[in-house]
Amino acid sequence: MRLLFPLILFVGLCLARPNVIEWSQLYSPAQNLSHNEAMTLKHLWLMFLKEYNHTPSFLSFRNFESNVIKMWRHLMVSSSFSVGINKFSALSPSQYRKYLGYRPSVEKLNLTIPRHIYRKLARYAPLPKFVDWRLKGRVTGVKDQGHCGSCWAFSAIGAIEGQYQRASGNLISLSEQQLVDCSSGFGNMGCNGGLMDNAFNYVKKAGGVNREEDYPYVSGVTEQPDNCSFKANISVAKVTGLVDITSGSDEELMEALAFNGPISVAINAGLTSFMMYHEGIYDDPECKGHMNDLNHGVLLVGYGEQNGIPYWLIKNSWGTNWGEHGYVRIKRAGNMCGVATAASYPLI
């Protein structure tokens, strides 16, 4: 169920549950709210507790209050995207950052994998106006990294899955857990972040990746890596190299995506507006895209245009109850959020 502001019109106090801290004990306005706003906030809080089975605390309520007020401000202005209450709504900025595991400062250790710079094709026809690799069977279902900063692993595996399907014709869900557990010697840091290029380098050295069913993901619950349990005898998707796309070039990124398949990209996902994104084309002028702004690894799977607004189509790793069933569309102009800053894909 999506918890959006208009739904409060249909909610009563019956949503309260046993053992919830009494409202009078919890709430004393930290913001200058009217009586109606305070009551609306109360309804939304009770809805949030019920929907996400959240254990209430004074601090989590304060975080929720701050985020909801930002949501209200967004709803008051015209925008190409909407925001709503989701599983992150009671997090502080520092708590939210734990879900953002791309580390541009991480050294690319022992990067011996053959690296190529993407070269534009000698094309005699324009690029397609619309690309969505989901429709071509090159993208697995949306996954959930859970309480682990392993977005880099999900981005890298998504790109490997797409390239393996391109080479073999078979779409197979591969193991993010293997990368979390086994690639620390290549510069990655498990649940504390990493780089997709380091992951590609590891997979080349390891000789492949296990299927997800053979090496399932558990770090979303344990919040830490496990012992490396890679089984070389049943591995698939052997990586031979990687291709880096010229930083900041929307046109090259569009071309590489259109002719090669899903691409690993890093974005700036640090704003509250992104955390609470619900649907539409994300466009926040505060979402800068320099290398040092990047903090989240995702998978670029398409592009298009809606109502005159060009967009990138991106698969996230926060489950299907975030955004557009696990996806986000980001405005494709001015390198919004840095989509074109650090993009690469593996060779198989």
Active site residue 316: yes
Question: CB under 8 Å to 285, separation ≥6 — which residues?
Answer: none
User: Do 202 and 186 touch, CB atoms closer than 8 A?
Assistant: yes
The residue from 67, 210, 268, 316 that is catalytic is: 316
Cα–Cα distance list, 322 to 44, 79, 177, 205, 270 (Å): 17, 19, 22, 34, 15
- Placement of tokens 């619309």 in the chain: 130
The residue from 86, 260, 278, 296 that is catalytic is: 296
DSSP 230-299: --GGG-B----EEEEEPTT-HHHHHHHHHHH--EEEEE---SHHHHTEEEEEE--TT---SGGG--EEEE
Active site residue 321: no
The residue from 151, 182, 287, 337 that is catalytic is: 151
AA letter at 311: Y
Q: 10 Å Cβ neighbour count for 16?
A: 13
Distance (Å, whole) CA 345 – CA 157: 10
Active site residue 151: yes
- Please, what's the b/e burial string for 282-295 (b: 16 or more CB within 10 A of its CB; e: otherwise)? bbbeebbbeeebbb
Tokens coding 211: 């299927």
Selection from 200, 208, 147 nearest residue 172 by Cα = 208
Active site residues: 151, 296, 316
